[in-house]
């Protein structure tokens, strides 16, 4: 598998439509600039949909990829290793923040087990049937996946993207349910941005103390030594320091761009997968929005590299797609305004008046001769 092949498959959103949408925006009754970023979002949606007049976002979907990471056994996470299935169970039971928000907004949630480290019987069959492997390897010492497992995870993500596009999903809120997932995410971002472990290491969605932060920083440093020799091959990079859920999310992002399906990214894990995908296909980020600032320094570096400006900064660090879902109403509002605001009426034309005859100037009397 060569992810560089996606570069030929992914096209940018329609630039001509966007220019027409910008011209139409100039004619709306609300002055240009008065709606702030909503104007920009509306024009982006026009280009993504290929329609000057934006269609409403009618079938959004939250898609969450789940997995456990062996590096969590080092105590780099605020949760015990191998307990990501509890996060999945909470979402399925409607008791997690993303589940509550999705229910309030009537947005369906789909959970995909790419690499959970639990007995399949603990979760519904439709969740676990896609699993690539049970857990991912300890990236400070060994590869997270084999090459074959990495390719299988990428194809899993591509298949999920195709299923969503074929079912009519018109926008995806993408998130992860993982324990230890921010550590490989930071390793990927540090490798791709050419920076040190200490620059990208944050405290994760669950929060960690100083000692755990130092362990996490050391694990990322060791993972970087293994990542740098394979930087030229995205598949081998994901195999070395990624994980089944991260590889699946990368495949999902690339295939979503192929299918012209917009995606809202959530936190540092999604940003890392997006950065890998951008390395393979430079046009792909044009199909993504950054939902929120997660507070992770690695996320900020990745978004800067992709020139993605987050929509929200509410201090939400819980992960699981929560921050990205909070941004969805903003995107829906931009779509509604772009679609429904009327244009300014043309100024009334006054009827043409006949021209008044030019006044006649009498001839001057001849000069008197003395």
Q: Are 133 and 149 in contact (CB under 8 A)?
A: yes
**Per-residue confidence (pLDDT) for residue 352, from 0 to 100:** 66
Round to whole Å and give the CA distance between 144 and 219.
13
CA angle 341, 346, 351 (to 5 degrees): 160
CA distances 327 to 103, 143, 221, Å, are 15, 35, 33
Round to whole Å and give the CA distance between 59 and 108.
9
Tell me the angle at which helices 234-241 and 268-280 cross, rounded to the nearest 10 degrees. Answer: 150
346 is catalytic: no
Round to whole Å and give the CA distance between 33 and 300.
26
Round to whole Å and give the CA distance between 190 and 201.
9
Q: Are 225 and 240 in contact (CB under 8 A)?
A: no
Taken in order 50, 56, 59, 65, is the CA torsion positive or negative? positive
Round to whole Å and give the CA distance between 267 and 295.
9
Catalytic, out of 121, 142, 320, 343: 320
Domain boundaries, the chain: 59-329
113 φ/ψ angles, rounded to the nearest 5 degrees: -80, 105
Q: What is the pLDDT of residues 312-331, one digit of tens each?
A: 998 888 889 999 999 999 99
**Per-residue confidence (pLDDT) for residue 370, from 0 to 100:** 47
- Residue 343, helix vs strand vs coil: strand
Q: Are 137 and 144 in contact (CB under 8 A)?
A: yes
Render each residue's pLDDT in the chain as its tens digit; 370 residues. Answer: 889 899 999 999 999 999 998 888 888 888 888 899 999 999 999 999 999 989 999 999 999 999 999 999 999 988 899 999 999 999 999 999 999 999 999 999 999 999 999 999 999 999 999 999 999 999 999 999 999 999 999 999 999 999 999 999 999 999 999 999 999 999 999 999 999 998 998 876 566 788 989 999 999 999 999 999 999 999 999 999 999 999 999 999 999 999 999 999 999 999 999 999 999 999 999 999 999 998 889 999 999 999 999 999 988 888 899 999 999 999 999 999 998 888 888 765 556 666 666 666 666 565 555 4
**Per-residue confidence (pLDDT) for residue 171, from 0 to 100:** 97
The CATH number of the structural domain formed by 59-329 is 3.40.50.10210
């Amino acid at each position: 598998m060569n992810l560089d092949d996606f570069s030929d498959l992914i096209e940018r959103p329609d630039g001509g439509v966007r220019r027409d949408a910008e011209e139409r925006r100039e004619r709306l009754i609300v002055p240009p600039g008065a709606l702030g970023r909503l104007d920009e979002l509306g024009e982006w949606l026009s280009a993504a949909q290929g329609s000057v007049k934006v269609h409403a976002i009618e079938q959004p979907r939250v898609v969450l990829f789940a997995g456990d990471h062996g590096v969590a056994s080092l105590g780099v996470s605020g949760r015990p290793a191998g307990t990501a299935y509890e996060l999945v169970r909470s979402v399925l039971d409607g008791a997690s923040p993303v589940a509550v928000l999705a229910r309030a907004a009537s947005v369906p949630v789909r959970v995909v087990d790419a690499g959970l480290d639990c007995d399949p019987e603990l979760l519904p069959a439709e969740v676990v049937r896609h699993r690539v492997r049970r857990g991912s390897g300890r990236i400070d010492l060994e590869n997270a996946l084999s090459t074959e497992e990495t390719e299988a995870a990428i194809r899993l993500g591509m298949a999920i993207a195709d299923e969503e596009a074929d079912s009519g999903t018109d926008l995806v809120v993408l998130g992860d349910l993982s324990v230890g997932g921010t550590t490989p995410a930071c390793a990927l971002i540090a490798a791709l941005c050419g920076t040190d472990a200490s620059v990208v290491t944050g405290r994760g969605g669950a929060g960690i103390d100083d000692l755990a932060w130092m362990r996490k920083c050391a694990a990322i440093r060791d993972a970087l030594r293994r990542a740098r020799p394979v930087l030229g091959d995205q598949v081998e990079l994901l195999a070395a320091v990624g994980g089944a859920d991260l590889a699946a999310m990368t495949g999902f992002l690339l295939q979503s761009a192929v299918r012209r399906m917009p995606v809202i990214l959530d936190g540092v894990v999604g940003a890392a997968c997006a950065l890998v995908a951008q390395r393979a296909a430079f046009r792909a980020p044009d199909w993504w929005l950054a939902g929120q600032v997660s507070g992770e320094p690695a996320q900020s570096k990745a978004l800067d590299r992709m020139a993605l400006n987050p929509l929200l900064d509410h201090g939400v660090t819980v992960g699981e797609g929560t921050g990205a879902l909070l941004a969805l109403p903003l995107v829906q509002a931009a779509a509604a305004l772009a679609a429904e605001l009327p244009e300014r009426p043309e100024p009334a034309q006054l009827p043409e008046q006949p021209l008044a005859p030019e006044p006649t100037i009498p001839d001057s009397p001849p000069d008197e001769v003395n």
